[in-house]
Amino acid sequence: MALRKIIIQLCPLETPRRSVNILKTSMAFRLFCSIRDFGPVKHDRPNFRFSICLDVDGKQDSAVLHYKFTGEKEVDLLSTDVPESFRGKGVAALLSKAAMDFLMEENLKASISCWYIKKYVEENPHSDYKNLIKY
C-alpha cells in the first residue's frame, strides 16, 4: 500500500493508468526507492560480503550477501540475508546487483548457490551477467 501512495505522489492524476501500472512493477522504480531509503551497498572484501545498513525500529541492522572464492578467478555467491521487515522492498536486489557488478569489474566467474541471486540474474537479463555465470 505504501508503494501505491508513492506512485500516486510521483504520477500526476492525468497520467494514464497503464503508465502507472508499468511504473509500479518496474524493477528500476523499486531500486530507485530502495537506494533512496536504504543508502549505499558496502563491500567488505576481507569478510567476503556485501551489506546495507538498515534502521529497524530505531535499532541498526543490516542485510548481507555472502560469497566465497572457490578458485583464483571464481566465486560462489552463497546467500542473501535480509531482515524480515525489509523483505520484498528491493534490498536483496541491491545486494545482488552490487555482487554482479563486482564480478564484472574484477572479471570473475561465479557459481550461484543462493536461490534469490539466481532469480535476480534471470529477471535482469543483462548480457554481461550471463557470461559471468558458471552453470
Q: Give SS3 for 100.
A: helix
Predicted local confidence at residue 7, as pLDDT: 36
Q: For position 37, what pLDDT does the model report?
A: 58
pLDDT number for residue 126: 78
Per-residue pLDDT, 125: 77
Task: Measure the CA–CA gap between 113 and 118, rounded to whole angstroms.
Answer: 8
Rounded CA separation 60/35 (Å)? 17
Q: Tell me what pLDDT residue 25 has.
A: 41
Which residue bears the cell 511504473? 23
Q: What would be the CATH architecture of the domain defined by 39-132? A: 3-Layer(aba) Sandwich (3.40)
pLDDT given at position 131: 85
pLDDT tens across the length of the chain (135 residues)? 444 443 333 333 333 333 333 334 444 444 444 444 577 999 999 999 999 999 867 778 899 999 999 999 999 999 999 999 889 999 999 999 999 999 999 999 999 999 999 999 989 877 788 888 987
As to burial, measured by CB atoms within 10 angstroms (0-12 exposed, 13-18 middle, 19+ buried), residue 96 is: buried
Query: Under the phi-then-psi rule, with left for phi > 0, alpha for psi from -120 to 50, and beta for the rest, what region is 69?
Result: beta
* pLDDT confidence of residue 134: 87
Extents of the domains making up the chain: 39-132
Which pLDDT score is estimated for 79? 97
pLDDT of res. 56 = 66
**What is the grid cell recorded at 83?**
531482515
CA dihedral 121, 123, 128, 134 (to 10 degrees): 30
Q: Which residue reads 557470461 in cell numbers?
A: 131
pLDDT computed for residue 130 by the predictor: 82
